[in-house]
Structure 1
Amino acid sequence: MTAILAASFGLDGFRGQPPIRLRDDPLLRRQEARESNARSYPRRIPLALTEARGIYVRDSAGQLFIDCLAGAGTLALGHNHPDVVAAIRATLDSGLPLHTLDLTTPVKDAFVEELFAALPPAFARDARIQFCGPTGADGIEAAMKLARTATGRRTVVGFSGGYHGMTQGTLAIMGNLAPKRPLGGGTGDVHMLPYPYDYRCPFGLGGEAGVDAGLALLDQLLSDPESGIVTPAAVVVEVVQGEGGVVPAPLRWLQGLRRLTRAHGVPLVFDEVQTGLGRTGRLFAFEHAGIEPDVLVLSKAIGGSLPLSVVVYRAELDCWAPGAHAGTFRGNQLAMAAGMATLRRIRADRLDEHAAVLGARLTAHLRAIQVDHPCLGDVRGPGLMIGVEIVDEHRPPSRTGARPADGELARSLQRQCLERGVILELGGRHGAVVRFLPPLIVEAAEVDEIAERFRAALRAALAERASGAVPTGLAAE
């Protein structure tokens, strides 16, 4: 049966299927009854998945969906890529111990060699690597611990809109207030600064003036003996904010950030948990700015769909004691094998360049739709990391021209896309940014189909709003 189903995976099978019906599945009912109230994705994407290949997933009703969430960017090569499956099988068949803590193995050694070969040569030449617990959050925790140890300082600078994980330490440098309120904030030893969000410039300026204002503020805080902020142990930043709404930092701002942190002896930590390995059109997003970090945190795609997290940093920072950061599952051999296969395929097929071309194609489609639909306030993002900010075009704009976010319409649009077989996620302020994170292997015809389905979903969401109709939820079996 699986072979028969697999034969229909692909764009022809997707186009040829009957209209999608979101059904009440026993698996979903049991999930709702037994899983924590903290579960999130099933509330917005009520699917029970049974099979997946490439950019497609199939639910328990046999319906095919294009996956533009891809494990929040984890699945760089899509689902069950032959290279990844073969690497996992070969590791299992080899008799290699699957759990080694941080003892080395041939697979681990080969993974490190492959990763360092992908890094900019000047950075890799003098770098060290720490394997962390298998989440990006643990990687960020390790990076902050490393910087505090190396500098002897405690404070960390984060940015509004930032997302770095859900541990207590990473919540402290998160922009989103909702997860922090029940915990009493938890922002000790952290200073939050404005992120250069051009569409909603925190200084009310926008463009180059907004970049200048942000850099001037940081310069003043680091230079002024009356600023009230002691020199921090680290500055932690996403080159492109993901959960914060796909907000790319201007390249000149990144270059200025690098210049200022170096001048003041502050380690610069780049969180590339979501952007790493080709997502933005370069292997690493910081390469667009022609700069290098002091500390680089990688997860998601680095494990080839399996849990893995690493911190790569300049050797001069490597002064923490043995065991200063540990984790039982930092020796995930299957993830290293899958990650090595993923790295090799991305580099061999130049999927970073492919992402740049296909991302530009999807962006062009979305901007063409925007012309006739002013509720698409902003279309942005590099490569195959694209955000569409949904706004209320009937309300007055800010001084920089941005209209208020419309999270309600965004949620309706997400549901309408799902009913047309396209899985998308939301993010950003008020959950009003529709996010596109398809696997890097997506093809031009599939990008065109995604855009057309999005256009149809938008029309349906606008018609639903105009009629005052209330969504009825899942269809009955």
Structure 2
Amino acid sequence: EAVEAALKLARYHTKRQNVIAFFGAFHGRTMGALSLTASKPQQRRRFAPLMPGVTHVCYPDVYRGCEGGAQDAEAFALGCARFIEDKLFKTTLPPEEVAAIFVEPVQGEGGYVIAPNAFMQELRRICDRHGILLVADEVQSGAGRTGKWWAIEHTSVEPDIVCMAKGIASGMPLGITMSRADIMDWVPGSHASTFGGNPVCIAAALATLDVIENESLMRNATEVGNHMLKRMADWPVKHKLVGDVRGRGLMIGVEIVKDKQTKEYAAAQRDRIIELAFERGILFLGCGPSTVRIAPPLVVGKEEADAAIEVLDECISIVEERSPKSAGPGKPQGA
């Protein structure tokens, strides 16, 4: 609902009809949001025709799209953003007809892929040059999960519209679309939802905000997340199935691959790792083609995090022993 509202608001305010989203994105399953979503084919299968006016472009997956150091990674990320202006706007999509660019600062279902700061900053510049609204989907990455209220804060970019849900009300059903007053210029009745403004859910959200702030949960997310990332930093060398470990705060992904050189996805092995961990009392989720998603509660402590890491470490080793021979350890790839 938050994304649907943002989509309608962007079109209403700009009087433009087209939007840009990214491959790997997940924005929801209602028709407008689904039209922006591009992470799994089963989410879209048999629902066509979807909403027209959506163009998808590449998201900067540094691990898969770029080899080398930080300078190469930044150039790759900038190239992904500049493709919009240098190619798309000059061939098939007039910029004056684009209402908004929808982006997840950290892709959730796409594999916990982190957008480099340079990419987000270039998107902001492109939007400013062409009068396009930048919409940050923070449904998975917001509410303190990455160590800041919103993941986009890590990039020093201010979006025009922010979408939030999930953690913002600690699991109570609430979606929020937030923007400046000058953008929210639609007349009363232009948008509403059946359950919008539920007082119980609003109370839960207000209480959640108080707890996050008063109990320093963003600082905890940063400290425990950094602790976990440090403990797993050598896994791409230690484990033949681990291609990459990346994350911000308590939003961490461990990408499982069959081969370090080809980076071939290893979905079956990833799924088995998650099953083994579940049998040992630790719940992980998958995301992307073959990434293990680590997203503990914001109140998690270092001892609990260590216990989870040890279980995951063990389960990866078990699956490696039973898997066909893979390319050996290689240089870690950072996000």
TM-score (norm 2): 0.91
Name the aligned partner's letter for residue 243 of structure 1.
E
Which structure has more relative contact order (CA 8 Å, sep 6+)? It is 1
- Paired residues for 1:145-224 under 5 Å: 145-176=8-39, 177-184=41-48, 186=50, 188-201=52-65, 207-221=73-87, 224=90
Query: Following TM superposition, by how much is the alpha carbon of 1:223 offset from its aligned partner in structure 2, in angstroms?
Result: 5.2
Matched, 1:251 2:111: no
Cα RMSD (Å): 2.1
Alignment partners' CA distance in 2, 1:420 and 1:174: 33
Matched residue type, 2:323: R
Cα distance change on mapping 1:229 and 1:201 into 2, 3 Å: farther
Return closer, same or farther for 1:349/1:384 CA change in 2, 3 Å cut-off. same
Distance 1:209 1:187, change over 3 A: farther
| One-letter amino acid matched to 1:458 | I
CA distance in 2, matches of 1:202, 1:164: 26
> Which residue of the partner structure matches residue 192 of structure 2?
326
**Counterpart check, 1:415 vs 2:281:** no
Query: Could you give the per-residue CA deviations for residues 270-313 of structure 1, whole angstroms, max 9, x where no partner exists?
Result: 00011111101111111111121110111111112211111111
CA offset digits 1:120-163 (Å, max 9, x no partner): xxxxxxxxxxxxxxxxxx11000010010111111110001000
Per the alignment, do residues 355 and 169 of structure 1 end up closer, same or farther by CA in structure 2, a change over 3 Å counting? same
Aligned-residue offset at 1:268: 0.7
Cα offset for 1:334?
1.5
Aligned to 2:135: 269
Kindly state the Cα deviation for residue 420 of structure 1 after the two structures are TM-superposed: 1.1
**What fraction of aligned residue pairs are identical, expressed as a percent?**
36
Return 5+ residue gaps in structure 1 as ranges: 1-137, 398-402, 468-477
Q: TM-score scaled to structure 1, two decimals?
A: 0.64
In the alignment, which residue of structure 2 is the partner of 1:52? none
Q: Structure 2 CA distance, aligned partners of 1:248 and 1:303? A: 24
Alignment pair present for 1:450 and 2:308: yes
Paired letter, 2:101: V
Per-residue deviation, residues 231-252 of structure 1 (Å, max 9, x unmatched): 3111111010011100010011
Report matched runs for 1:67-86 at 5 Å.
none
Contact 2:241 2:316 in 1 (8 A): no
Cross-structure match for 1:116: none
How big is each residue's C-alpha offset from its partner over 1:390-426, in whole Å with a ceiling of 9 and x where there is no partner?
00027x42xxxxx111001001101111111110100
1:325-404 to 2 correspondences below 5 Å: 325-393=191-259, 396-397=261-262, 403-404=263-264
Answer with 160-169 or 357-366: which moved more: 357-366
